[in-house]
Structure formats: C-alpha cells, structure tokens
Amino acid sequence: MRMRDWPVGERPREKLLGSGSQSLSEAELLALLLGSSPVRGLNIVDLCRQLLGGHGSLRELLNAPRATLLAMPGLGVAGYCRLQAALELARRYYAEAMRAGPLLDSPLATHRFLIARLRDQPHELFCCLHLDNRHRLIAFDELFRGTIDGASVHPREVVKQALARNAAAVILAHNHPSGVAEPSQADELITRRLREALALVDIRVLDHCIVADNGCLSFAERGLL
C-alpha cells in the first residue's frame, strides 16, 4: 500500500507530530530520514523494515561496510549519506550534552560517554578527555589513528594538547575494533609513559579506558594505573 493511502494517524510524520518520536518504530524513524522509496511498489517503511531485517539490528545496519550499504537496493549514495549524517549528529549532540551536563566523576558516567563515542568506530582511535578541576569535560579530542603502540602515540603531542586545553586532568581512551576490551602490553606501556609525561606539568591521568563490543575496561578499576 502506498503511504498516501495509509490512515493519517499511522503515517510516520503525522505520528511523530501527534505522539512524539518515541512512539515510532526504528523502521518508521529510518523512513523519515530516507524520505521516499526508490523501489517501485515498495513504500519507504516497508523498505526500511527490509533493511533492518537484513542486518538483524539498527546498530548492525548503521555500521555495515560502506560498500555493502551503497549497493543495497533502495539506499544508494543519498540514503547512505543521510544515515551517516544522522549518526554523527547524534554523537556530537551527546558530546555537547555531556559538556553541559553531569560531571565525569564516576566510572559509569565515563564509560557511557566513551561507548557512545568510540564503540562503533571502524578504526582504532586514541583519544583524550580533557577535564577541569571539577572533572567537567572541557573537550574530547581524537589525537591519533591506527594501531596504538609506542610508535604511534607521542607523549609530547598529548602533553601539548592538554596544556592547550588548560586541563587539570585527563582520561585517556582508545577503542579495540576487534571487539575485546583487554589491554595489551603496548597499552600498559604507553599509559605509563603518558602518565609520567603529564605529571611533569601537573596534569593528572585519572584513567585509561578501552572500548570494545563487550564494554569498557578501566585501567583504574583493574589496578593498572
């Protein structure tokens, strides 16, 4: 059935306006993002149901390889770009909300923030959360990309950025795209080097967190800091 033939109250746009976005299914939310179905005889909501069903979940759909998504009937370049833009807006909104919101003064608050930012990144990223003396987030900076080891993470650059942000403390973080949040010897070595370098300018390292599919590992909680 064509969307125009649906009862008004069941159309995604009218449903959102009448009952709020929380009342929409994932397929209906995707339908609003994509706009219309280019597949003849298939309305946009049914197309989105097929997209979700083919990947098993919203997360799997949004993180499918670019080539896979671009090749999917009914999605194409325009649809792919809309989905990626929406995902990035959500990440930035969450980061901005954290800067004005609760302090990162507990492992749970920090883990939630980092999982939202790093869990689904396709590349290994080394990042730093710069905090003021009340543990409020000043900035979240991506500093290095690629394999995290002594050759790729440069303490001088980390110290330079922390000073530029006027940080009183930092939380180091990186992701493991492999999916397992277990520290390697290289992870432990670079943590010690960075802690020593930052201590020279009176900046405390509160934690080093590793984000993966199975959660967020804290060096501080493991007694590794």
Q: Determine the 3-state secondary structure of 63 from DSSP.
A: coil
Burial class (CB in 10 A: 0-12, 13-18, 19+), 19: exposed
Pairing label, strands 125-131, 169-175: antiparallel
What pLDDT does residue 99 have? 58
The maximal CA–CA distance of the chain, rounded, in angstroms, is 69
pLDDT of residue 97: 62
pLDDT at 5: 67
Superfamily of domain 102-222 in the CATH hierarchy: Cytidine Deaminase, domain 2 (3.40.140.10)
**Domain boundary assignment for the chain:** 3-87, 102-222
d(CA 126, CA 118): 10
Which pLDDT belongs to residue 102?
52
Cβ pair 35, 83 in contact under 8 A:
no
Helix (H, G, I), strand (E, B) or coil at 46: helix
DSSP-derived 3-state class of residue 151: coil
Cβ pair 124, 162 in contact under 8 A? no
Per-residue confidence (pLDDT) for residue 56, from 0 to 100 = 82
CB 156 within 8 A of CB 192: no
Contact 182, 219 (CB under 8 A): no
pLDDT tens-digit profile, the chain (225 residues): 566 667 777 788 888 888 888 888 888 888 888 887 777 777 888 888 888 888 888 878 887 888 888 888 778 888 888 888 888 888 777 766 655 555 566 778 788 888 888 887 878 899 999 999 888 888 889 898 876 554 488 999 999 999 999 999 999 999 988 778 888 888 999 999 999 999 999 999 999 999 988 789 999 999 988
Angle between helices 26-34 and 12-19 (to 10 degrees): 120
Q: Residue 76 has what pLDDT?
A: 80
pLDDT attached to residue 180? 80
CB of 48 within 8 A of CB of 27? yes
**According to the model, what pLDDT value does residue 92 have?**
79
Give per-residue burial for 20-59: e unless 16+ CB within 10 Å, then b.
eeeebeebbbbbbebeebeeeeebbbbbbbbbbeebeeee
* Cα–Cα–Cα angle for 121, 125, 129, rounded to 5 degrees: 105
What integer pLDDT is reported at residue 151 of this predicted model?
A: 46
Two structure tokens written together for 10: 């069941």
Nearest Cα residue to 112 out of 96, 88, 100, 94: 94
